[in-house]
Amino acid sequence: MPRIFAYIVHKSGAADDSAAELNAAARKIDPAQAPAAIVTGWGAELDQVCESLRSTYGEIWKVAKEPLAYPNAELVRAALVAVLPPGSILLVAHGHFGVDLSPGLAIKLDAGYVPDVVEIEGVEGRWLKAVRQEFGGLISARVRCDISTGAVLNVRPGAFRPLEGPPVSGTVIDKSAEVGELSSRRRYLETIPAETGDVDITREPVLVSIGRGIGEPDNIAIAEDLAEAMGAAVSCSRPVVDAKWMDKSRQVGSSGKTVRPKVYLACGISGSFQHLAGLKGNPFLVAINKNPKAPIFRVADIGIVDDILEFLPALANRVREETAVPGKERRRP
Amino acid sequence: MDILVCAKRVPDTSENEIQPNEAGTDIERDDLVYSVNEADNYAVEEALQIAARTGGTVTVVTVGGEEDEEILRREMAMGAKSGVLLSDEAFRGSDGRGIAAILKAFAETGRYDLILTGVQADDGCAQVGGMLAAMLDYPFASLVTGIEVVEGGKLKITREIEGGAKEINAIDLPCVLSIQTGINEPRYVGMRGIRQVAAVPIPRLGAPDVAMALGMAGKANAKAVHSGYFVPPAGKGAEMLSGSREDVTDKLFDLLKAHGGLN
């Protein structure tokens, strides 16, 4: 069995949550082998990350190089090609960095590549058996990956539950000397933080959230009307922002905002993992979608199969009926 | 600037129910409606806008069979100067690496300053752009949401990172970029536009035409092979509310009230 490594993404001196998940995913490939972590970066933050990983990983390979202070995937790729033993299996979190890094890395390593892995069903000879989802989560696919010359697997965040058990006391091994001078024809310049719009959806306790099912921009008024009746705010999923119907600041998801409402009404939202990644704090999740097979119904608390363009006005009326009643009663002698 | 855009024809999820076939060996393909992959439309639009600013041409290429010509024509109707179909029995069953190798062979028959792909196909892996760049030894950036042409054979690009933040990079030409949806507003293509390009010949090139060694193409050389499909497990599953719309709104109203959903 080849050696298994986990590339650890980190920020401001803290390892990403996926660090423990990759450790768990590695055991599904080879239960007998403790994987090693690889961390690239520079300075005190890098040392802090390596130290924090000692409770999860038996071995932490550290690559400290000044050009790696910002994780430019092109430079990280060159560093990994330099330090990885031939034929290794490398696990990477399937986020914006993994998507940037891994396909090209697999080519440079002459390794197999499977992205967005949600399950690993073991190894049979030279074939590793992985499961991924396609068509926005509508269908699962079994993919066999040839690992005879190594493999890069991008693992979906949240798909593997971290292992339970006592902490290990890992060793940090400095591999920096194995990496030569790093340069790239792509240079990081700056990061522009997310904009805050007119409404801060991260602070709203109740969200009426709309997706592709809203159909056209004029229909957004239907969701706004329901939100007004409920005392809620309107948020949305990616396709609504792509179509320029709502501002980016209203988008819930991994490339948008992370929200923690008490109640979340997903209206005409299919429920891709990128969208659900932005929904935290286990809200009461109501899904309304005309497709009974929409993936959102797998994770919602309450599901309603209906056309949102008709259902949302009906619900708004129902809410207003109730709120109108006390007023009437007060007028009675 | 001469720009190559790699596009793909995919089952349209808004028009089809995607489910496994009876044997679980593939998705059910009877009566599927196909269209051009959504992100690829944004890539073509971006290429057209850059070419309009800098001069130069836009070529759209795909790997497949005769049925894939329709998406090339659609993108030509958007304004791409030419479409090329890479088609060979030996390409059948290629994985992403194989497709990237075929595209690399074609890219090397011309001189392209910039190669764009869509960020990901609905049935795909967001992999071909990064692989193609590595094979060509060009710099690569994924999830691109903005391109600015600066002097001296360089681009200033915006990438989408987490939480709505953006990362700005400078990148040298030639390069490969994978284009994120939402970067622009792809222009509308009507039936009239499609008819106008209906007679334009689309060259069909096989492995010998692009001088391609077949070491990576085809099913036999694939390192990643789809072996089955199934409906994802339901998880805990939602409690489904059914009945008349009036009943359902009544039930939901009570639930929302109980969970603090009405302010």
Contact A191 B165 (CB under 8 A): yes
CATH class, B3-221 region:
alpha beta
Same domain, A10 and A159: yes
Question: Closest residue of B to A322, CA-based?
Answer: B253
> Is residue A127 domain-shared with residue A24, that is, in the same domain?
yes
Q: Of A132, A147, A178, which closes a domain?
A: A178
ipTM: 0.95
Instruction: Judge whether A271 lies within some domain.
Output: yes
Q: Same domain for A64 and A167?
A: yes
Residue keyed to tokens 């109108």: A324
CB contact under 8 A, B134 and A108: yes
State the CATH number of the domain containing residue A174: 3.40.50.620
pLDDT at position A326, please?
Answer: 53
- Answer positive or negative: Cα dihedral of B253, B257, B258, B260: positive
Rounded CA gap, A133 and A155, in Å?
11
Q: Using CB atoms and an 8 Å cut-off, which of residues 252-271 of chain A contact chain B? A: 254-258, 262-263, 265
Burial class (CB in 10 A: 0-12, 13-18, 19+), A95: buried
Q: Would you tell me which residues 267-306 of chain A have a C-beta closer than 8 angstroms to some C-beta of chain B?
A: 284-287, 291, 293, 295, 297-306
Residues within 8 A of B (CB atoms), A 157-176 only: none
Residues A286 and A231 in one domain: yes
Residue A183 covered by a domain = no
In a domain, A186, yes or no: no
3-state secondary structure of B195: helix
For residue A194, tell me if it sits in a domain: no
Domain range summary for chain B, segments of one domain joined by +: 3-221
Which CATH number is A234's domain given? 3.40.50.1220
Same domain, A297 and A256: yes
% of chain B at pLDDT higher than 70:
100
Q: Are residues A226 and A287 in the same domain?
A: yes
Q: What is the mean pLDDT of residues B71-77?
A: 97
Contact: B256, A258; criterion CB under 8 Å: no
What do you get for the CA distance between the two ends of chain B, in Å?
56
Interatomic CA distance for residues B200 and B184, integer angstroms = 27
Instruction: Flag if B232 and A314 touch (Cβ within 8 Å).
Output: no
Tokens of B239: 């409690």
Residues A141 and A110 in one domain: yes
The answer to whether position A196 is within a domain reads no
Same domain for A140 and A10: yes
Contact residues on chain B for A232, CB-CB shorter than 8 A: 261, 263
Mean pLDDT value across chain A: 95
Q: Among A320, A262, A265, A303, which Cα is nearest to B258's? A: A262
d(CA B171, CA B219): 34
Does residue A33 carry a pLDDT above 80? yes
Q: Are strands A127-134 and A151-155 parallel, antiparallel or unpaired?
A: unpaired
What is the per-residue pLDDT across B90-137, written as a single tens digit (0 to 9) for each? 999 999 999 999 999 999 999 999 999 999 998 889 999 999 999 999
Tell me the pLDDT tens digit for each residue of A51-63. 999 999 999 999 9
Residue B255: its chain A contacts at CB < 8 A?
A: 284, 286, 302
Do A91 and A230 fall within a single domain? no
Q: What DSSP letter does each residue of A144-211 carry, written as one string?
A: EEE-BTBEEEEE-TTSSPPPPS-----EEEE-GGG------SEEEEEEEPPPP-SS-GGG-SEEEEE-
Q: What is the DSSP letter of B238?
A: P
pLDDT level of residue B206 (50, 70, 90 thresholds): very high
Closest to A75 measured CA to CA, from A181, A218, A219, A212:
A181
Residues 210-229 of B with CB under 8 A from A: 222-229
pLDDT band at B17 (very low <50, low <70, confident <90, very high): confident
Query: Is residue A329 over pLDDT 50?
Result: no
Which whole number is the average pLDDT over A321-330?
60
The mean pLDDT of A114-127, rounded to a whole number, is 97
Residues A237, A203 contacting (CB under 8 angstroms): no
Does A31 lie in the same domain as A144? yes
The whole-number average pLDDT for the span A83-111 is 97
- Put simply, the answer to whether B122 touches A135 (Cβ < 8 Å) is yes
Does the distance separating the beta carbons of B171 and A185 come in below 8 Å?
yes
Distance from CA of B117 to the nearest CA of A (A): 13
Of the three residues A118, A146, A178, the one that is the final residue of a domain is A178
pLDDT digits (tens, 9 = 90+) for A258-306: 999 999 999 999 999 899 999 999 999 999 999 998 999 999 999 999 9
Tell me the pTM.
0.93
The distance of A280 to chain B (nearest Cα, Å) reads 13
Minimal Cα distance from B100: which residue of A?
A107
Is residue A332 over pLDDT 90?
no
Alpha-carbon distance of A103 to B78, in angstroms, equals: 29
Q: Count the Cβ atoms, other than its own, within 10 Å of residue A70.
A: 15
Residue B148, phi then psi, degrees to nearest 5: -125, 130
Quick one: A37 and A164 in the same domain? yes
Domain membership of residue A290 as a residue range = 201-331
Q: How many domains does one find in chain A?
A: 2
Instruction: Among A143, A151, A186, select the one facing B171 at the smallest CB separation.
Output: A186
Instruction: Determine whether the interchain pair A186/B141 forms a contact, defined as Cβ–Cβ distance below 8 Å.
Output: yes
